[in-house]
Chains A and B, each alone.
Chain A
Amino acid sequence: MFFLRSNYAHPAFREGALDMVPLATGIAAWGLMTGVAMVKSGMSVVEALAMTFLVYAGSSQLAAIPLIVAAAPAWVILATGFCVNLRFVVFSLHLRPYLMHLPRWRRMVNGYLTADLSYALFTRRFPVPGDTDAQHREQEAYLAGNYFVTWSSWMLPGVVGIALANFIPSAWGLGFAGVLCLVGILCSLANTRLRLFSAGVAAAAAVVAYALPLKLNIVAAIAVAVLASFWLEGRVPRRWSEA
Chain B
Amino acid sequence: MSGQTDVWTLAVILGLACVTVLTRCFFFILDRPWTLPGWAHRALQYAPVAALAGVVAPEVLMSGGHFLPTWEDARPFAALAGALVYFWRRSVLWTIVAGMAVYLPLHLVLGW
Contact = CB atoms under 8 A, between A and B. Distances in A.
Interface residues of B, number: 71
Nearest to B97: A26
B33 to A, nearest CB: 8
A116 to B, nearest CB: 8
Given A60-B20, A74-B15, A188-B86, A202 B54 contact: yes
Contact of B50 (A61, A90, A225): A225
Tell which of A54, A180, A233 has the most Cβ of chain B within 10 Å: A180
Interface string B6-24: 0011111111110111111
Indicate the size class of the contact surface on chain A: 35 or more
Contacts of B15: 74, 77-78
B29 interface: yes
Contacts of A155: none
B71 interface: no
B108 to A, nearest CB: 7
B12 A74 contact: yes
Interface of B: 1-5, 8-17, 19-29, 31, 42-62, 65, 67, 74-75, 78-79, 82-83, 86-87, 90-93, 95-97, 99-100, 103-104, 107-108
Q: 4 shortest A-B CB distances, which residue pairs?
A: A184-B92, A221-B54, A87-B48, A184-B95
14 contacts: A29-B96, A47-B9, A57-B16, A88-B20, A176-B100, A179-B59, A199-B50, A202-B50, A203-B53, A204-B57, A206-B54, A210-B62, A221-B51, A221-B54
